[in-house]
Amino acid sequence: MITLRPADQRGHFEHGWLDTYHTFSFAAYHDPKHVHFRALRVINEDVVDAGRGFGMHPHDNMEIITYVLSGQLEHRDSLGTGEVIRPGDGQRMSAGSGIVHSEFNPSPSEPVHLLQIWIIPDEDKLDVEPSYEQKAFPDEEKRNQWRLIASPTGENGSVKINADAKLLVTKLAGGESLPIDLPAGRHAWLHVAKGAAKLNGTQLKQGDGAGVSNEATLKLEATEDAEVLLFDLA
C-alpha cells in the first residue's frame, strides 16, 4: 500500500523570517490523520531568511536530523558544539536526556532551505547521554544510487542514530530510475526534496511524501532532476 501526502496539504506557516511546511503535526499545526509515520515524527521544510534563525531551545528523547538543501545553517548546543551544516551533509543530534541548541542562518544575504527531521528513539535508548555527529556526503555518492546517511549501526560511514530506522538519499537525473529494496516487514517513507519523480508509476512533485507498507516491489523514476529522501522504518 502506498499512501500519498501531497505537498499542498501540509501544514503551512509564514512567520516573516521563516516559511515552513509541516508534513506531520507540529507546534500549532495538528492533523490527527498525520501525526507520525511509524517512528518518523517530523519532516519540516523550512526556508530561513538571512541573519535569522531559531534561538536556544531544549529537546529531549528525540533523534534530530537536519538536511540542508541550499545555503548554510550554523548549529550551536549545550555540549559546546559549533558547526556549519552545508548542503548534502548528514547531521544528527541525539537529544537523549536533554540538550539545548540553536540553529542560525549565518549568511548576510542568502536564505537557507532545509529539512528538519525528528525520529522517535527506540524505547531502550531513551534518556541516553546527548550527542552530536556530522559528516559530509558528496553528491557523487548519491548520483543514481542510494547513499546511506543515518542508521542505527553507523554502517557504511553513516551517522549513528538511536532508532531502528535508516535514512538514504539519492540524486537522479530526469529519466533515471532506482529500485527500492524494502525487506519484508519493513515500512518506508519517501520525501521528494527537489524535482519530481514517480513511485511505482505514481507522480510525486517537490514536497510530496509517500508512506509505503506491504509492497514487495518498488521503483523510483525521476521525471526531472530530483533529490529524494528514503526512510526505512520498523
Residue 38: what pLDDT? 98
Instruction: Please provide the average confidence, as pLDDT, over all residues in the chain.
Output: 97
Residue 216: what pLDDT? 81
Query: Where is average pLDDT lowest: 32-41, 145-154, 213-222?
Result: 213-222
Q: Parallel, antiparallel, or unpaired: how do β-strands 209-213 and 202-205 relate?
A: unpaired
Mean pLDDT within 17-34: 97
* CA angle in degrees (0–180, nearest 5) for 87-187-211: 70
71-122 residue pLDDT tens: 999 999 999 999 999 999 999 999 999 999 999 999 999 999 999 999 999 9
Question: pTM of this prediction?
Answer: 0.97
